[in-house]
Chains A and B, each alone.
Chain A
Amino acid sequence: MPDAAHNAETMTVPLIHSFSSAKLPQAAETLRGEIRDFLAERLDGVSPRTRAKTWSGFDPDFSRSLGARGWLGLTLPREYGGGGADAFSRFVLMEELLAAGAPVAAHWIGDRQSAPLLMRYGTEEQRRFYLPRICAGEIVFCIGMSEPNSGSDLASIRTRATQDGDSWRLNGSKIWTTFGHKSDYMIALVRTSGSPDDRQAGLSQFIIDLTLPGISVRPIVDLCGDAHFSEVFFEDVRLPADALVGEEGQGWAQVNAELAFERSGPERIYSSMVLLDLWASHLANSPENPCHQERLGKLLARLAIAREMSIALAAKLANGESPVNEAALLKDLGTELEQAIPVEIADAVGSDPAPVDPELLGTLAYLMQISASFSLRGGTREILRGMIARGLGLR
C-alpha cells in the first residue's frame, strides 16, 4: 500500500470539522422580529436596485436610528454604550440587515472592526471617548490599510509617523479607503520605525481625526459610477500622542486582530441576496420552468449550508474563540456563492429573448459588475486560500 494513503489513516484535518451544527438561541431569534419590523418600515418603497447596494449604501440617518435602538456595538459592554449581547444576536442583526438590503455603510466599519479594536487595544480614555459615539451612530470610521504600492503585501506600507516631541508627524497616503471621504476618523496602519525592509516590525496603529490640517481626500469612482472609496493624503499631519492605538511597534499583531474581526462576520455570504430574492419572486410568479428551478435550488442549497457554517462561526465567537482560519475558509466559500448568484441569474434571464423587468435587469447589471469586488475587499481570494493552507498545516 502506498505510504501516503497509509499515513492518511491516522490523519485528521481539524479545520474542516469546525462547522458542525450550532443553533441560534431564542434571545437572538427574539431580536429578529424587532429588527424586521423596523426594517419593513424604514425601507418601505426603496427599490431593489438601491437596496442591492447594501454595503455601499451610505445613510448616516439610518445608522443613527439603529444606534437609537441599541443595535450598534451590539456585542460591546453596556458601560461603553454597547448592547452586551452575544455573537448570535449580532449574526441575526447582520442577516436581517443584509437580506433586506439596508444601507449599512455609515456604521459598518465602526461597528464591525473599529469599535472591537478600540475595546481590545484602546486606552480607557479612548474607549470612553469613541465607543459611545460609535454605538450611537454619531461617528463614521474608515480603514487605512492599503496604499498605492501595498495591497496584499500589507507589511510593505510606507506611510510613516515620526515622533515630534509629544506628538507625531504623519506623511504618506492610503487608498481604496471605503467612505474615506465621508468618515470622521480613520484607524490607520503606518510605519513608526525602521524601513519597509523591516516588514512586520516597526508598524503602529493610529486613530486619525480626518478634519486635521494636512489631510486631503479624493473620492474614487468605481466601474458602476459610484464613489464608495477614496484616496487619503497626509502631508505633515500633526497627530496628538493619544492618537496612538495600542502599543507602538505592535501594529502588525493588532491589525491582524482587526482583520479577524473584519473577516469573521456572517456578512460574507449575503452580498447578492437582494438580487436572488428579486429573481426568485419573479420565478414564483411565472409559469414553472424546471431549468430555472434547478438553478435556484442549487443556489439555495449552497446558501442554506453556508448559513449553517456562519452560525457555527458565530458560536465560536460567542465562545470567545478567534476562528481566523475558519473565517478565511467561510469568506472564500461565501464570496464564491455571492459571485455565482449573478452568473446563474444572468444565464437564466438571458435564456429567454423576451424583455425583462427593468428593475430586475438593473439589479442584475449592478451585481454582475460589482461582484468582482467581493473577493477583493477584506483580503483577496488568493490570500485567503494561503491562510486556509496554513490552517491545513501546509505552510
Chain B
Amino acid sequence: MDDELLGPFARLLTDLSPPATVRGAEKDGSAPELWAAIGDSGFLDALVPEDSGGVGLLPQNIASLVIACGEHLVPVPVAETIVARALLARHGADVPADAPILLWPLSEDGKLSSPVAPVFSDGCLALVQSGNGMTLVEAAQGERDGFGLPAALISADAPPLAAFESDIDLLTWAAAITSAHMAGAMNRVLAMSIAHASERNQFGRPLSKFQAIQHHLAVMAERVAASNAAAHFVFASERLALNPWRAAAAKCMVNQAAPDCCGLAHAVHGAIGISEEHDLQLHTRRIKRWQLSFGSEAYWARRVAASWREQGGGTSIDRIRRQIRGGSADG
C-alpha cells in the first residue's frame, strides 16, 4: 500500500516542489500551485477513516510519504495537515476545506514546545494542544528567523475555529514528522553528494575515486540509512496515537545522525556547497532548523532513558522491546 501510494505522490512533488518553488516559499510562505495540487490529490485525508470520507490509511502506511516530503523540502505542512485533519474528523470538528494546518503542542508553561516555530505557510491554521485540550486557530506570518525562514505566529486570544479534547499527543507527532522529514532531506543530501563527487574532478580524477571521499560518503550512508530506519520505526503504528517512546528514540537518533551527514556533505561539496545558488544549502539549512524543532537529542534522550527507571526489570534490550510494543504494529 505504502509503495503504490508513494509513486504518484513522489511524482507530484518532483513536478511541483522543485528547488525554485522551495526558494520562493522561503521568502513568504506561499506555494499556491503546490498546495492546490496536493489538496486535489486527496492525500490530505490519508488518515481520515473511509466512513468519514477519507482514505483510511494508518500511520504505518504513510511513512514513505512523509519522508518524501522531507526529500523535496515541501514548503507546505502536508504531514502536519494530514494528522490534524484526522484528529478533527475523529472528534467531529469541522474540517476547514483547504487550509494548511500546523501542529502547535504547548508545554506546561503554555509556550510552544520548540525553540523554533513551525514555518509559516500561506493561509495556515494551527492545531494547538494544551494538556488534553485542542483548539484550531489562525496563524500569522512572523519575522524571518535566524535560518532565513518565515516562522509562524499565533496569538493567545485568537478565536478558536474548533475546540475538542484529545489525548493524542501532538508533540509526539511533531517529533515523528520532523524525524521523517530529516531522514528524507538527508536522502537527498547523500544523493547530491554522490552526484557531486562523481562529476567534480580534482588531481585529474573524480572526487569519488579518492578513498577519503568514499569513506565520507560511506559514513553518510550509515547515518542516512539509520535515519530512514528510524522514520519507519516511529510510523510503524496501526493507531492514530503513535508510540511516544518510539518517537523519542527516533528523534534522538536522527538528531545525532544529522550533523555528521550535513558536515560530511559540505566537506564533499567544497565551497560551492555553501553558496546560496547551490541547492545543498537548502537542505542542510533546513535539517539544522529541524534539529532544533520539537526537542533536541538531549531532550528526547531523557525520555528514552526513563525506561530504565520503570518497573519490570531486565536488560536494555528487554526495556526496548517492552517500550516499542505499545501502539505499534507489533501489537
A312 at the interface (CB under 8 A from B): yes
Check A1/B279 contact, CB under 8 A, given A12-B191, A333-B226: yes
B208 at the interface (CB under 8 A from A): yes
A131 to chain B, nearest CB (A): 30
What separation, in Å, do the CA atoms of A36 and B302 have in the docked complex? 29
B230 at the interface (CB under 8 A from A): yes
B228 near A5: Cβ-Cβ < 8 Å: no
A304 near B233: Cβ-Cβ < 8 Å: yes
Question: Contact partner of B187 among A16, A306, A386, CB < 8 A?
Answer: A16
The residue in A4, A21, A95, A296 that gathers the most chain B C-beta atoms within 10 A of its C-beta is A4
Question: Contact partner of B217 among A95, A288, A293, A389, CB < 8 A?
Answer: A389
A258 at the interface (CB under 8 A from B): no
The interface residues of chain B lying within 8 Å CB-to-CB of A5 are 19, 192, 195, 278-280
Question: Contact partner of B232 among A4, A21, A290, CB < 8 A?
Answer: A21
Question: What 0/1 readout, one digit per residue, does chain B (132-146) give for beta carbons within 8 Å of chain A?
Answer: 000000000000000
B310 to chain A, nearest CB (A): 9
The interface residues of chain A lying within 8 Å CB-to-CB of B208 are 394
Which B residues between 204 and 234 are near A, CB-CB below 8 angstroms? 208-209, 211, 214-215, 217-219, 221-222, 224-226, 228-230, 232-233
B37 at the interface (CB under 8 A from A): no
B194 near A284: Cβ-Cβ < 8 Å: no
Q: How many chain A residues touch B (Cβ–Cβ < 8 Å)?
A: 63
Question: Contact partner of A306 among B192, B211, B226, B307, CB < 8 A?
Answer: B226
Check A312/B187 contact, CB under 8 A, given A284-B308, A301-B253, A301-B300: no
What separation, in Å, do the CA atoms of A395 and B206 have in the docked complex? 11
Stretch in A52-60, A154-162, A200-208, A273-281 touching the partner = A273-281
The interface residues of chain A lying within 8 Å CB-to-CB of B236 are 21
Question: What 0/1 readout, one digit per residue, does chain B (76-93) give for beta carbons within 8 Å of chain A?
Answer: 000000000000000000
B305 at the interface (CB under 8 A from A): yes
The interface residues of chain A lying within 8 Å CB-to-CB of B198 are 394
A153 to chain B, nearest CB (A): 14
A63 to chain B, nearest CB (A): 22
B157 at the interface (CB under 8 A from A): no
Nearest residue, chain A, Cβ from B226: A305
B250 near A305: Cβ-Cβ < 8 Å: yes
The interface residues of chain B lying within 8 Å CB-to-CB of A392 are 194, 217-218, 221
B233 near A385: Cβ-Cβ < 8 Å: no
A308 at the interface (CB under 8 A from B): yes
A394 near B279: Cβ-Cβ < 8 Å: no
A30 at the interface (CB under 8 A from B): no
B253 near A305: Cβ-Cβ < 8 Å: yes
B215 near A385: Cβ-Cβ < 8 Å: yes
Check A301/B304 contact, CB under 8 A, given A5-B278, A284-B309, A294-B298: yes
A251 to chain B, nearest CB (A): 27
What separation, in Å, do the CA atoms of A294 and B248 have in the docked complex? 12
A350 at the interface (CB under 8 A from B): no
A265 to chain B, nearest CB (A): 15
B190 to chain A, nearest CB (A): 6
B232 near A273: Cβ-Cβ < 8 Å: no
B199 at the interface (CB under 8 A from A): yes
Which A residues between 280 and 311 are near B, CB-CB below 8 angstroms? 280-281, 283-284, 288, 290, 293-298, 300-309
Stretch in B40-48, B158-166, B314-322 touching the partner = B314-322
**Interface residues of B toward A: which range?**
35 or more
The interface residues of chain A lying within 8 Å CB-to-CB of B196 are 4
B154 at the interface (CB under 8 A from A): no
- Chief secondary structure at chain A's binding surface: helix
Question: Contact partner of B233 among A13, A276, A308, CB < 8 A?
Answer: A308
Question: What 0/1 readout, one digit per residue, does chain B (287-318) give for beta carbons within 8 Å of chain A?
Answer: 00000000001101111111111000001111
Question: Contact partner of B218 among A20, A277, A290, A385, CB < 8 A?
Answer: A385
The interface residues of chain A lying within 8 Å CB-to-CB of B229 are 19-21, 305, 308-309, 312
A280 near B316: Cβ-Cβ < 8 Å: yes
What separation, in Å, do the CA atoms of A180 and B227 have in the docked complex? 40
B116 at the interface (CB under 8 A from A): no
B2 to chain A, nearest CB (A): 9
A333 near B278: Cβ-Cβ < 8 Å: no
B249 near A304: Cβ-Cβ < 8 Å: yes
A388 at the interface (CB under 8 A from B): yes
B309 near A394: Cβ-Cβ < 8 Å: no
B228 near A301: Cβ-Cβ < 8 Å: no
A125 at the interface (CB under 8 A from B): no
B268 to chain A, nearest CB (A): 10
A10 to chain B, nearest CB (A): 8
Which are the 5 A-B pairs with shortest beta-carbon distances? A297-B301, A297-B305, A389-B214, A301-B252, A388-B218
21 CB-based A-B contacts, threshold 8 Å: A4-B192, A5-B195, A5-B279, A7-B195, A8-B195, A9-B14, A9-B18, A13-B187, A16-B228, A18-B225, A273-B316, A277-B315, A293-B301, A294-B301, A298-B256, A298-B297, A298-B298, A301-B249, A302-B256, A309-B229, A392-B221
Known: A2-B277, A24-B330, A293-B305; 13 extra A-B contacts, CB below 8 A, are: A4-B196, A5-B279, A8-B279, A20-B229, A273-B316, A294-B302, A297-B305, A298-B252, A301-B253, A302-B226, A304-B324, A308-B229, A308-B230
